[in-house]
Amino acid sequence: MPNSLPLDEQLTALEAILRRNPVIPELLSRLETLDLPGWYLTAGCLVQTVWNVVTDRPVDTGIKDYDVFYFDDSDLSYDAEDAVIQRGRELFADLDVEVEIRNEARVHLWYEAKFGVPMAPYTSTEAAIDSFAATTCSIGIRASNGRWSVYAPYGLSDTFNLLLRPNPIQAPRRPYLEKSARWKEIWPELTILPWPGESD
């Protein structure tokens, strides 16, 4: 299993697994041309591809969308973000997948209305990835001159082990519970750790 490999070999295994989902290398190649500041392809599409390969499912099983984060605090208007979204929509129009592009510098402007808790502004795309509801999903990948780089602040072992671990540093409890329940239906092999202070 990849989780028992040294970290550099885990990274090699991760790239090999993700390349089995043809959408991922295609997105990375095209995203490089957008030249967005601090961008990553991130979240569910990556870990779910790993889960699918590890459990011998079709590589796109359960993947709702492909999340792209970037960070541009020079203009926090929705119009500026929407202009990027529209550029992406044109760039990916021929792909039969949903690509969701979001400026993480704007998240604090709408977060409380959606989740009921305030948040301080992120300082980078990496800070946003750090605060995902499950640390297992805190992975981002980008490409530069065709070379992939990985941001994985909590490592890769939980992802390879199908272990979902909560991350209460920012995200409220509800998104973790909702996501884990939905994912357990698709990948029953998952082990879901309880939210801190709760028993399973």
pLDDT tens per residue across span 29-77: 999 999 899 999 999 999 999 999 999 999 999 999 999 999 999 999 9
pLDDT digits (tens, 9 = 90+) for 101-141: 999 999 999 988 888 888 899 999 999 999 999 999 999 99
Condensed to tens digits (0 to 9), the pLDDT of residues 151-173 reads 999 999 999 999 999 998 876 78
The pLDDT assigned to 119 comes to: 86
CA distance 120 to 138: 19
pLDDT of residue 111: 86
- Could you give phi then psi for residue 150, rounded to 5 degrees? -120, 135
Please tell me the pTM assigned to this model: 0.92
